[in-house]
Amino acid sequence: MQSKRTPPPVAERVPVVRWVRDNFFSSAWNTLLTILIVLILFKALPSFFEWGVLNAVWGAQDHTSCRSEGAGACWAVIAEKHRPMLFGLFPYSEHWRLIVALIIFVSVICITLSRRFWRLKILAPLWIANLGICSLLMWGGLFGLEYVDTQQWGGLPLTMVLFTGTVVFGMPIAVLLALGRRSHMPGIKAICVTFIECMRGVPLITILFVAVNVFPLFLPQGLEFDVMLRVMVGMAIFFACYQAEVIRGGLQAITRGQYEAAEALGLGYWQMMIRIILPQALRVCLPGIVNHIIAAFKNTSYVLIIGLFDILSATTAVMQDPLWRLFTIEAYLFVALIYFIFCFALSKYSQNVERWLDEGRR
């Protein structure tokens, strides 16, 4: 589709003109596409703008103005309902604890992601402190904080809890499964391959069903686990099987020489893996790892099906309110925005990581 270029001197001298011509009118087909899209946008955008901004009801405390003739989007539903959407059944007066916990949690994630702090000496104590403080804030019961049972946890904090649990439990299992799949012992290899392939072959829902319906049957009488914990373990194992395949890719990228050098130094299997192989392998496949971490964040929304109140199910429950139920679209758009911000930021981050790794290799 190369245009025949005998460019007029004006176009060469004015970069804007050239840019416009190259990007919108480089060929007959492109010109046609441009005109078609502009026409569609001219028809669609103004009505969206009217619905979402001009005629939208922003802050009314009652639903009546949202129902009035010609009213657009009812963003008031978010002003009215954001607390139960974000924090679920958690006692209203204690919501500040969740806000503090979320701020700490997100800052720790940001610190973890920056390369400067990639040292176990910094990250391990940081995460232990983070988990300690956040659980204290969520459970309470100490230092005069009111005790809140996990039954009442919900909304965004529950999403974060499930997400953290999935990744923190899942990563070590993933590493073990990946190593097992690369093992020279046929028995161990076969077990790992079967396990990984079976878990990857079934939908997450069925694993959650197992966690909720079947797992209690496996335990001896009288022994019970919190349903949130069971679900978290199920999600962690599911996550681990996908992540194991990514890590396997990383392990395959490490040359034989590295293994041989480690053996020549007299390192045992675990020392070789922990000190030499894994740090390199994990670095190579970091973008893939981040992708599955994003997927794990999105997968927390599956708990809607089994009745845990993460942010999506809390919103669904809140929107049963007959006064506001006409405005579910606005509420779901708000939830979608929250997921989008988190996942988009992480995926941009993983693209940056890819760039650093390329720089290192060049």
Partner 1 sequence: MAEQAHPPKTNRSILHSIAFRNVAYQLLLAAALIFLGWYLYYNINENLDRQNIATGWSFLSEPAGFDISESIIPFDSSQTFARIFAAGVLNTLHIAFVGIFLATLLGVIMGIARVSRNWLVSKLASAYVEICRNVPVVLHVIFWSSIIRLLPHPRQALEPFNGAFISNRGLMLPFPVDNVLYPWVAFTLVLGIGGALIFTRWARYRREHTGQYIAVFWPSTSITIGLPLLVWALGGAPLSWDYPELKGFNYQGGISLSPEYIALLIGITVYTGAFIAEIVRSGIESIHRGQIEASRALGLRHSFIMRYITIPQALRVIVPPTASQYLSLTKNSSLGVLIGYPDLVNIGNTSLNQTGQAVEAIAIMMLVYLTISLTISILMNFYNKLVAIRER
Round to whole Å and give the CA distance between 248 and 178: 5
Piece in contact with partner 1 (CB under 8 A), picked from 49-57, 96-104, 254-262, 335-343: 335-343
Task: Show the tokens assigned to 200.
Answer: 């990857």
How many angstroms separate the CA atoms of 332 and 16, rounded? 40
First to last CA, the chain: 32
- Classify 74 as helix, strand or coil: strand
- Residue 130 in contact with partner 1, rule: CB under 8 A: no
Q: Which residue has the tokens 């506001």?
A: 324
With contacts defined by CB under 8 A, name the span among 24-32, 53-61, 170-178, 282-290 that binds partner 1.
Answer: 24-32
Nearer to partner 1 (CB atom), residue 38 or residue 274: 38
Q: How far is the CB of 117 from partner 1 (least distance, A)?
A: 25
Among 110, 219, 253, 323, binds partner 1 (CB under 8 A): 219
3-state SS of 212-243 is: HHHHHHHCCCCCCCCHHHHHHHHHHHHHHHHH
Candidates 48, 79, 193, 200; binder of partner 1 (CB under 8 A) is 200
Q: Give yes or no for a contact between 233 and 211, defined as CB atoms under 8 angstroms apart.
A: yes
Out of 10, 120, 142, 185, point to the residue binding partner 1 (CB under 8 A). Answer: 185
Establish if 111 lies at the interface with partner 1 (CB under 8 A).
no
Query: Is the CA virtual torsion 346, 352, 357, 358 positive or negative?
Result: positive
Cβ 212 to partner 1 shortest distance, Å:
9
Ramachandran area for residue 82 (φ above 0: left; ψ -120 to 50: alpha; else beta): alpha
d(CA 234, CA 303): 11
Q: Kindly tell me which residue out of 11, 24, 82, 127 binds partner 1, with binding defined by CB under 8 A.
A: 24
Considering the rule CB under 8 A, would residue 332 count as an interface residue with partner 1?
yes
Q: Which stretch binds partner 1 (CB under 8 A): 8-16, 28-36, 124-132, 165-173?
A: 28-36
- Residue 112 lies near partner 1 (rule: CB under 8 A): no
d(CA 207, CA 307): 14
Residue 17 makes contact with partner 1 by CB under 8 A: no
Length of the chain as a residue count: 362
CB under 8 A: which stretch of 114-122, 127-135, 160-168, 322-330 binds partner 1?
322-330
Binding characters for partner 1, 257-296, by CB under 8 A (x = yes): -------------------------------------x--
Tell me the DSSP string of 9-72: HHHHH-HHHHHHHHHH-SSHHHHHHHHHHHHHHHHHHHHHHIIIIIS-B-S-SSTHHHHSTT--
- Binder to partner 1 among 336, 351, 355, 356 (CB under 8 A)? 336
Write the CA distances from 237 to 166, 206, 230, 341, 353, integer angstroms.
8, 13, 11, 26, 26
| Residue 351 near partner 1 by CB under 8 A | no
Other CB atoms closer than 10 Å to residue 83's CB: what's the count? 14
Should residue 153 be labelled a site residue for partner 1 when binding is judged by CB under 8 A?
Answer: no
Per DSSP, the chain holds a count of helices (H) and strands (E) of: 18, 0
Stretch that binds partner 1, among 136-144, 229-237, 274-282, 339-347 (CB under 8 A): 339-347
The answer to whether 202 contacts partner 1 (rule: CB under 8 A) is: yes
- Choices 68-76, 78-86, 122-130, 199-207 (CB under 8 A): range interacting with partner 1: 199-207
CB 104 within 8 A of CB 96: no
Answer yes or no whether residue 70 interacts with partner 1 by CB under 8 A: no
Q: How far is the CB of 205 from partner 1 (least distance, A)?
A: 5
In the bound state with partner 1, the residue whose beta carbon lies nearer, of 14 and 124, is 14
Residues of this chain that bind partner 1 (CB under 8 A): 1-2, 22-24, 26, 30, 33-34, 37-38, 184-188, 191, 198, 200-206, 209-210, 213-214, 216-221, 294, 298-302, 304-305, 312, 316, 326, 328-329, 332, 335-336, 339-340, 343-344, 347
